[in-house]
Amino acid sequence: RESRGAPEDYREWWRRQLEQSPIEGSGSGIVIREDGYILTNTHVVKGADKITVRFKDGRRYPTTIRGIDPQSEVAVVKIEAKSLVTAKIGDSSKTRVGEFAIAIGAPFELDYSATFGHISALGRSEIFSQAEMIDQNFFQTDASINPGNSGGPLINIEGEVIGINTIIRGIGTGVGFAIPSNFAMKVAEQLIEKGRYVRSWIGLEVTDFGEFPKMSDFTGGVSDGV
């Protein structure tokens, strides 16, 4: 945008520079199997030419994508390693609003940062605007999440992973969203076994009747329900 009005040869040179310069990104992940399977977000790894996993002790591993599922934002990558320490996965269905929550990741490349907060809400949907993102049932948390936290764990006070940090609503706002661990693991297991997640579709959406008061004109005065 800043090159508008510049000579065409300059703009062409700038385009070539952008095309030739590699773009690097970073994110977080969770070891879910001791033989090298790591859970993260789709947007952390999708489209990457090269992925490297780095552990806290400095070990680095070349990485392959086992499977991605853009509709849920869940991805699994694989490294060639054995006897890895795995995360303790909790039962996210037991999570309640007001519980303590701790986000761990690498915000702004500050490795192994832990931020503390609460579960602010359950069942948040329509957070992503992309049409392909259909599975949205996020935990909302005020534990600080920033770029680099994506794919990292949201844990409870017992150290159990209850969510996968995925997206924020503005930096520093205290409004972040995590995929519940039960669903993330369900997707991950299929990605590991099949390389893709298979879902059914019945073409039916349930909506609170109260959001469409004019519908009562067609229902004989009924004003409550779905």
- The predicted pLDDT at position 126 comes to 75
Residue 6: burial class (beta carbons within 10 Å; 0-12, 13-18, 19+): exposed
Which segments of the chain have a pLDDT < 70? 1-6, 128-134, 223
Taken in order 204, 207, 212, 218, is the CA torsion positive or negative? positive
β-pairing verdict for 30-33 and 37-41: antiparallel
Please give the Cα distance from 136 to 178 (Å, whole number): 10
- The predicted pLDDT at position 11 comes to 76
pTM of structure: 0.78
Taken in order 209, 215, 218, 223, is the CA torsion positive or negative? positive
Cβ–Cβ under 8 Å, residues 87 and 159: no
DSSP class of 73: T
Closest CA to 163 of 70, 99, 85: 99
- The predicted pLDDT at position 1 comes to 47
SS3 100: strand
Please give the Cα distance from 41 to 28 (Å, whole number): 8
Q: Would you state the structure tokens that stand for residue 101, as one six-digit string?
A: 């929550």
Residue 163 phi/psi, 5-degree rounding, is -160, 165
- The predicted pLDDT at position 183 comes to 96
- The predicted pLDDT at position 218 comes to 75
